[in-house]
Amino acid sequence: MSEPPRFHRAPRPAADAAAPAADAVRLNKRLADLGLCSRREADEWIERGWVRVNGQVGAMGQKVSPHDQVTVDRRADAAQAERVTILLHKPVGYVSGQAEDGHQPAVTLINARSRWRGDAAPTRFAPAQLKGLAPAGRLDIDSVGLLVLTQDGRVARRLIGEDSDVDKEYLVRVAYGDVTTGVQAAFPATGLARLRHGLALDGQPLKPAQVDWQNPEQLRFVLREGKKRQIRRMCELVGLKVTGLKRIRIGRVALGQLPVGQWRYLGPGEAF
């Protein structure tokens, strides 16, 4: 029985074989645009000789046109399958990314002891999973809730890429001036309308958002973008002060019963 081919072909759009050079892009971008990996992962594959262009081993920085045949070694699939995505219930006092002002990054909470006992994923924790584990999105130091950390560039691209349309849901406790109870009754309907659409941050208009009252002191936000401290800044623009903020969902993945300070793996049947 013959050995199966080591390389498989990456999908490609139909194109005329005489496509102009202007259509050429770097090889790592081509792989990322096809959704096979991130550019960083593509660079790793190219360095290892796992990517071929028209049958020849690809080179770093090489440009390819739409009609070029790009193939990827099956060992890349195996390497990618080992990459993990972790869901953390981030507490107050931890930053999402690099340590700053004496505050520890959320990744320091990821260890065998802090894994949620209710995690049904079959994956076993190993220290190697911490290598390259990075947050796919922001959750500021004063906020709690669902934070995604991943080694998988495809997940990061899906959540924070320029073309990402994954929605994120938050519960936001607010005050209106000196009013801390019964805020809904005191806050004008025009302010709620502006939160939904009409605000701008950093000189750019914000995308429409879903904003509704959950109870007299708490709003529910659903956003499709993630500017720095966006909800807090949006509330400030309409006279509200955020006193508590919790992210409870990203795409189809909910925080659920995951306890504060604990984590679990993204399960085999889950996707954003």
User: How many alpha carbons lie under 13 Å from residue 170 in its C-beta half-sphere?
Assistant: 28
Query: Strand 168-176 relative to strand 253-254: parallel, antiparallel, unpaired?
Result: unpaired
Annotated catalytic residue, options 16, 68, 77, 140: 140
Instruction: Check: CB of residue 245 under 8 Å from CB of residue 167.
Output: no
Contacts 24+ apart (CB under 8 A), 205-208: 206/230, 206/234
- With a CB cutoff of 8 Å and minimum separation 6, the contacts of 227 are 201, 202, 206, 233
Q: What is the DSSP letter of 32?
A: H
Instruction: Check: CB of residue 90 under 8 Å from CB of residue 258.
Output: no
12, two tokens? 């490609």
Q: What angle do CA 54, 18, 52 make, to 5 degrees?
A: 15
CA-CA distance, 54 to 172, in Å (whole number)?
53
- Cα 150 off chain centre by: 8
The verdict on whether 163 is a catalytic residue reads no
Active site residues: 140
